[in-house]
Every structure is written in C-alpha cells, then in structure tokens.
C-alpha cells in the first residue's frame, strides 16, 4: 500500500513557472495571429460560421476532454473498479455521437445563430430564452470552477505552490489568451492542445502502469477489491455511475452552450464528420486516463487528504520521472484550459447575444462594439467568480453529475421546440420549472422515499428511462421508432425498477426531471391548434455586425485556412 503522501515527486517552483509560461505564452502567441483591427462581435462568438474540419474536430474533442472529466473518470475507476472508467468514458463518447442529428436540425433552422438560447427566443420568447441562458451560465460556472479545482490540486501536488496559488496561475493564464479574441482564441488553441493531450496520454498511461507493477499489480492487488469492484458487470457501478451519466451527459450535450457554439461555428456540411471524430477521441482518452484510478485501487494508493480529486496527480507524482511529470503537467493544464476557455466564450456569448443583444438593446439596434466590451467584462467577472468558488474544493464528480441532471429538465422542451409546432413559450417555461421543483427534493433526498412517494418516484423514473432512450432513437431513426423504443424500454424495466430506483437519488432525480418536463410539456401542448413556421427563425437571426464588416473579418478566414 502507498501511504498518504509518501514517495511523491515534485517539480521545482521555477520549472512549474517555466512550463506554464511556455504553455500559456504559446497559446497567447497563437491568438495574436487573429487580426485585431477588424474585430467584430459575430467573429467573437462563432468565428464566421465556417470553421473547417481539422480545427472544429480538434476543438470539439478538446472541449469535451477536460481535466475534470479526467479526474472524474479516475475517481470512478477508484470507486467502482475497472467498469467505472468504461461507464464514464463510453457513455460520454456516445453522447457526443447523439448530438449531431439534433445539431444538424438546429443548424438548418438557424444557420447564423450565436447561442442556442437565441434560437429559443426566436421560437418562443424571452422567458424560455432566459431560462436556457441562465442554466448555461450556472453550468459554465460549475465547469470553470471544477477545472480550476483540478488545476489547483495538480499544481499543489506537483510543486511547492499552494492550491490557491495554483488556481490563480490557471485562471490568469486562461484569461490572458481568451480575453481579446473570444471563441476564435478558444477554437484555434483547442486544436493544438488536443494533439498535445493525446500524445501525452499515449506515453504516460503505459509508463505509470509498468512503474506501478505491471500485470503483477492486478494479481497482488485483487484482494483489496470488493466483489462489486472486481466485477466487470457491476450493478453498483451501473446504477451509481453508468445510468446517471447516460442521462446526465445527454442533457449536458443538448443544453450546453459550449457544444452549441461549436455547432454554429463549424461548416454545416462537416457537422457529422466533426462529431464522429470527437466521439472516438474522447472515448479513448477518457477511458485510458480513468485506468489510473483503477491502478490506484489495485496498488492500494490512499488519496491524499482523502480527496479523490488528487488521484491522478498523486499517481503521476509517485510513478513518473521529472521529465514525464512535466509532460503530465502540460497534459492536464491543456485539458482544463481547453474547456475553461470554452466556458468563458460561452458565457460571454450569452451575455452579448441573449442579455444585451435581445433584451437590453432595442430590436435591430445592438452596438457591436458594446457587445465586445460586454463579452470581455463577462470573461473577467466569470474568471473571478470561478476562482472564488474553486477555493471551496468541492467534489468534481458530484458537480458534473448534478449539472447534467439539472439540465435534464430542459432536454425534451428544447429538442421538441425544433420539431413540434405545438409547443408554446408557456409550456416550455412551466414544464422546466415544475421539473426542477421535483428534481431537487429527490436528488438531495429532502423527502422520505417510503410508501407512496417512493412508488411515484419509481414510476416517474421509468417514464424518464423511456424519454431518454426514445430521444436517442428519435435523433437517428425518427418518431415512429422512438415511440417503440420508449414503450419497450418502460415495459422492460418496470418489473425490476419498481421498489428499487428511488434508492438511487442521483439516478432517480435525473430521470424524474426528464419525465416531469416531458409530461407537463406534452399535456400542455398536444391540443394546441397553432402552427409555427420554422423557416421564420432563419429570417429573425443573423449577424449583429454589418455584412461588409463581417466579410472583411480576418479571423474567420484564418480559421478556415488553418483547418
């Protein structure tokens, strides 16, 4: 067994500073190639809607592979055994794949959109728009916070610097290169960061494996595992990790502005190719890095300070040489930076387009220079807030599952809004509010799950399973197949779920959110005789800058050439 904190290698203070200066200085230099004289608000938010395959696929992969997902995958491996990272990485990868059919529809309806909430405004109105925009602000703040936590834990373990100093380094570095060019800086640097991350993973995982004992580690460490941890088909792993993550990541994918921003930025004919590539890259990387948690479990590693957020840097500090430790540092910093800069860009776009562009400025009178100023101020404020919240060092896995489940209340109303003419602004808003009101007490176990309450939660959870699987089927195979899949799924799981599901608060809370929002939205709308012309959305959403200025924007051209 590796004692708590024993045998950890560290990098010197100046080495860490040098690596961070090289990394963030390099990314800053990349963004300096983005023209400054022809700045425009549309480029700041979506890079001209014509980003090529290479950069868009790299950016999509890098955004989904964040330090928090690496840490959470390792935590899952340490907690549930070998099936943990597979549940985490496989379902997360498949969710990227499930985005693209819905993404193609959304992009066809609104080819010039900047945010998903902006499209919902054109479809419904202000309350639905601000609800989606607000949920994204919360989600991106949680994401930034968790990435700052990951970076602070990393630097605190690998150097003489403290956790607080670590998060300040990370936050300042990300803001440095993101502030001026917004989304264009994010998408351009992501492509470079993802190749560095993938290369580091290929080197580091095998080195840690052999340094920790190789195959002998699994033989000698098997006695440390519980029966569930040693079972590849662990029901505990599926119910506590796999199933909640299937639901959470679908919600994360559909409601997340960082994903929507890349959807609106990539060339429309490259959407499928981009998302399929990101699926493979994410799955391989996250499952691989999660195996460090499995190795820690077999090796008897005790998480430093009892915090599983420390597992990955602790394994690296125990088994890697100083040179590889430096490479590892850059790998994690690249992973967290690629996602944190995406969240900064997402929040700035929401404040620019949804808050100012459509709710403060008079219709058609939004000033692009004012929008740019608001976007940059948003980044500064968001970074400061993320640093403040990160100081609490919350559990990353809990944060991710909570946000994903919270967004479950939005999935059906958002998707249906792009296909079903009958949905109204009132139904969208009320269904989400009611779903959240049901989700929160179930998720946090504020109410007793005995008797009738438990039965109702189980029944709603069964409906939620049908909704999740039905939506997945709908994206690829259409409405008829979706109805069959949903019905079969509910009938198949009902005998096993009644009396059981309410015992799993994370899973049942998420499924209840899906079920309630779907049922309320449907029953409020199915008799509605009104129709909606989806073609009108395209006419209502366009560039904020004038056409001439947008056509002379150097940044969009640069991204196309780089691809």
The 10s digit of each residue's pLDDT in 334-393 is: 888 888 888 898 899 899 888 888 778 776 677 888 888 898 999 999 999 999 888 876
The pLDDT tens digits of the residues spanning 452-480 come to 999 999 999 999 999 999 998 998 899 99
Domain membership of residue 278 (yes or no) is yes
Specify the DSSP element, H or E, that contains 241: none
**Whether 4 contacts 304, CB under 8 Å:** yes
**Cβ(237)–Cβ(80) under 8 Å?**
yes
pLDDT at 555: 40
Q: What interhelical angle do 243-255 and 451-477 show, nearest 10?
A: 60
Same domain for 360 and 249: yes
H or E segment and range at residue 409: helix 396-417
In this structure, is residue 244 part of a structural domain? yes
Query: Based on the domain organization, do 353 and 472 belong to the same domain?
Result: no
The reply to whether 350 falls in a domain is: yes
Is the pLDDT reported for residue 545 higher than 80?
no
Together in a domain, 229 and 303: yes
Q: Is residue 110 part of a domain?
A: yes
Task: Please check whether residue 3 is in contact with residue 303, taking contact to mean a CB–CB distance below 8 angstroms.
Answer: no
Per residue, the 3-state secondary structure of 348-395, as one string, reads HHHHHHHHHHHHCCCCCCCCHHHHHHHHHHHHHHHHHHHHHHHCCCCC
Domain residues for the domain of 521 are: 420-529
Assign 403 a pLDDT band (cuts: 50, 70, 90): low
Does residue 282 belong to any structural domain of this protein? Answer: yes
Could you please report the per-residue DSSP string of 432-443? Answer: HHHHHHHHHHHH
- The reply to whether 378 and 467 lie within a common domain is no
Per-residue model confidence as pLDDT tens digits over 169-222? 999 999 988 887 777 777 877 777 777 777 777 888 899 989 888 888 888 888
Asked whether residue 553 carries a pLDDT value surpassing 50, the answer given is no
Evaluate whether residue 251 is within a structural domain.
yes
Q: Which residues pair with 266 in a beta bridge?
A: 51
pTM of the predicted protein model: 0.81
Same domain for 350 and 470, yes or no, is: no
pLDDT score, position 372: 86
- Over residues 126-138, the pLDDT tens digits come to 888 888 888 888 8
* 390 and 426 share one domain: no
Q: What's the confidence (pLDDT) of residue 27?
A: 83
What value does the mean pLDDT take over residues 234-247?
A: 80
456 three-class SS: helix
Domain total in the chain: 2
Look at residue 142 and give its three-state secondary structure.
helix
Domain-located, residue 413: no
Span 492-503, average pLDDT: 91
Q: Are residues 211 and 350 in the same domain?
A: yes
Work out the widest C-alpha separation in the chain, in whole angstroms: 70
Q: Which of 422, 427, 443 is nearest to 529 (CA)?
A: 422
340 in the same domain as 209: yes
Look over the chain and give the mean of its residue pLDDT values, rounded to a whole number.
83
Identify whether 374 is part of a domain: yes
């Amino acid at each position: 067994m590796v004692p708590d904190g024993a045998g950890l290698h560290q990098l010197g203070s100046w080495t860490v500073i040098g690596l961070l200066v090289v990394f963030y200085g390099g990314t800053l230099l990349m963004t300096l190639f983005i023209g400054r004289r022809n700045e425009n608000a549309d480029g700041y938010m979506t890079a001209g809607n014509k980003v090529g395959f290479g950069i868009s696929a790299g950016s999509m992969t890098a955004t989904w592979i964040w330090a928090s997902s690496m840490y959470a995958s390792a935590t899952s491996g340490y907690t549930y055994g070998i099936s943990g990272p597979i549940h985490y990485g496989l379902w997360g990868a498949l969710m990227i794949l499930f985005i693209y059919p819905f993404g193609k529809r959304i992009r066809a309806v609104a080819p010039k959109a900047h945010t998903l909430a902006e499209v919902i405004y054109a479809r419904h109105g202000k309350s639905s728009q601000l609800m989606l925009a607000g949920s994204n602000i919360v989600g991106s703040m949680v994401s930034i916070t968790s990435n700052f936590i990951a970076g602070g834990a990393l630097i605190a373990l690998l150097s003489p610097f403290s956790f607080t100093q670590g998060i300040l380094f990370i936050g300042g570095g990300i803001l440095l290169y993101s502030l001026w060019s917004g989304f264009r800086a994010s998408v351009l640097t992501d492509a470079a960061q993802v190749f560095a991350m993938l290369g580091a993973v290929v080197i580091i995982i095998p080195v840690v494996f052999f340094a920790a004992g190789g195959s002998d580690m699994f033989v000698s460490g098997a006695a440390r595992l519980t029966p569930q941890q040693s079972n590849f088909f662990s029901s505990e792993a599926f119910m506590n990790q796999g199933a909640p993550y299937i639901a959470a990541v679908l919600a994360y994918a559909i409601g997340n502005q960082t994903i929507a921003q890349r959807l609106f930025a990539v060339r429309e004919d490259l959407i499928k190719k981009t998302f399929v590539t990101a699926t493979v890259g994410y799955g391989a990387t996250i499952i691989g890095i999660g195996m460090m948690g499995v190795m820690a479990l077999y090796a008897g590693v005790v998480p430093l300070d009892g915090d599983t957020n420390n597992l990955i840097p602790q394994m690296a500090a125990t088994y890697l040489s100083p040179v590889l430790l430096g490479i590892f540092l850059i790998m994690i910093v690249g992973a967290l930076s690629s996602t944190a800069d995406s969240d900064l860009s997402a929040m700035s776009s929401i404040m620019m387009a949804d808050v100012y562009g459509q709710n403060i400025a008079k219709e058609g009178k939004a000033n692009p220079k004012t929008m740019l100023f608001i976007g940059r101020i948003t980044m500064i404020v968001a970074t400061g807030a993320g640093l403040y919240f990160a100081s609490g060092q919350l559990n990353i896995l809990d944060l991710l599952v909570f946000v994903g489940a919270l967004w479950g209340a939005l999935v059906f109303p958002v998707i249906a809004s792009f296909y079903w003419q009958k949905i109204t602004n009132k139904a969208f808003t009320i269904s989400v509010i009611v779903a959240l009101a049901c989700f929160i007490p179930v998720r946090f176990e504020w109410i007793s799950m005995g008797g009738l309450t438990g039965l109702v939660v189980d029944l709603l959870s069964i409906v939620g399973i049908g909704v999740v699987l039905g939506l997945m089927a709908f994206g690829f195979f259409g409405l008829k197949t979706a109805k069959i899949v949903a019905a079969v799924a509910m009938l198949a799981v009902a005998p096993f779920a009644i009396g059981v599901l309410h015992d799993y608060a994370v899973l049942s809370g998420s499924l209840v959110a899906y079920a309630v929002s779907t049922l309320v939205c449907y029953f409020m709308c199915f008799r509605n005789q009104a129709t909606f012309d989806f073609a009108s959305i395209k006419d209502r959403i366009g560039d904020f800058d004038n056409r001439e200025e947008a056509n002379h924007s150097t940044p969009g051209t640069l991204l196309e050439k780089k691809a």
